Amino acid sequence: MAARIRKAVFPVAGLGTRFLPATKTVPKEMLPIIDRPLIQYAVDEAIEAGCDTLVFITNRYKHAVADYFDKAYELEHKLERSGKLEQLELVRNVLPPGVRAVFVTQAEALGLGHAVLCAKEVIGNEPFAVLLPDDVIWNRGPGALKQMADAAQATGASVIAVQDVPKEQTGSYGIVATQNFDARQGRITAIVEKPKPEVAPSNLAVVGRYVLNPGIFELLENTTPGAGGEIQLTDAIATLLQRETVNAYRFQGTRFDCGTHIGLIEATIRYALDHEKLSDSARQLMQNALAELGVEDLE
C-alpha cells in the first residue's frame, strides 16, 4: 500500500485565447458552469480525493484566481448580517476548513511540464495529483481523481486518466499504448504528445488528471522542449515509464473539454439537466428552443 496523495497541482497560467474577448479580463478557469467557476470543479474533485494542499501555478496577471480563493471578510459579514446563510456557506466552502491554497508564479509560459516543475518545492518527496481545470469530469459516483487515487494507493504506481477518442482526434491529445488492460487499468508502454492519426499508437487519449510519483520532477528538469516548442509533461512521463510502472486508468464519468466553446456548452447542459433545482426548467427550455428552431427550419 503506497502513500495517499495529499497535494494537487493546478496549472492555471494559460492565456485562454479561445475565449477572447471574455478572457481579456477573466481567466478562463474563472468561466462558470452555472454558478461555479471551472477551477472550483477541479478543486472539489481534488478535495474529495483527499487533497488538503492545493498548488496553483499561475502568472502575474491572474489575480482573479488568487482573489477567488482568498477569504472575503466583507462579503461574508454582509451575507451573515442579512441572514443569507445558504450563500454564506457557499462562499465559505470555496476552500473548506483544513484545506490550504499555495500560489506559485510561472514566470514564463514554457509548457505544461514546466508548470508542473514549478510545484517541485511545495510537493517535496511524495506522490501528488495534477488536474487540468479545462477538463471537467462529471460523474454521479466518486470523482475521477478519487478513483485514480485509490488505484494509485493500491499499486504505488503513477496513474494517468485516459479515454477513447476518435482516431482523427489523436493530434489534440497525449496518446498512450498499453498492455494487460483489465476493465479499468493497464500498464503504459509508450506515450506520445499529439501524434497525427497515422502514427498514433492507439486512440486512448490522456485526459487532464494525473497521479504522479515525485521522480517526475528530476525528469522534468532534464526535459527539452518537444511538441509545440513546449516542455511537455508527456515527454517526462515517457521517460518515467522506462524506470517504473505507469498505469493508464479509464475512469468512470463523462469528460467535457471546457477549453472549447462546444465543450463548455455541453458541460453547462449536463450540469443543468442534472441540477436539483434547474433540471425541470432546463429540460423544458431546451425542448422549447429545439421546437422553435425546428419550426423556423421548415419555413
Contact range with ligand G1P by CB under 6 A, out of 95-103, 203-211, 242-250, 267-275: 203-211
The verdict on 173 binding ligand G1P (CB under 6 A) reads: yes
208, 216, 231, 235: residue in contact with ligand G1P (rule CB under 6 A): 208
The verdict on 144 binding ligand G1P (CB under 6 A) reads: no
132, 136, 148, 240: residue in contact with ligand G1P (rule CB under 6 A): 132
For residue 26, count CB atoms less than 10 angstroms from its CB and return exposed for 0-12, middle for 13-18, buried for 19 or more.
middle
d(CA 113, CA 118): 9
Q: Please state the closest distance from residue 161 (CB atom) to ligand G1P, in A.
A: 9
Cell numbers of 58, please? Answer: 499561475
Whether residue 164 contacts residue 279, with contact meaning beta carbons closer than 8 Å, is answered with no
Q: Please enumerate in sequence order all residues whose Cβ is within 8 A of that of 261, keeping only pairs 6 or more positions apart, or say none.
A: 18, 19
The verdict on 174 binding ligand G1P (CB under 6 A) reads: yes
Cell numbers of 98, please? Answer: 483544513
Contact range with ligand G1P by CB under 6 A, out of 21-29, 179-187, 201-209, 261-269: 201-209
205, 216, 240, 264: residue in contact with ligand G1P (rule CB under 6 A): 205
d(CA 106, CA 108): 6
The verdict on 112 binding ligand G1P (CB under 6 A) reads: yes
Q: Per the omega criterion (within 30 degrees of 0), is the bond before 21 cis? A: yes
Interface residues with ligand G1P (CB under 6 A)? 112, 132, 135, 173-174, 193, 205-208, 233-234
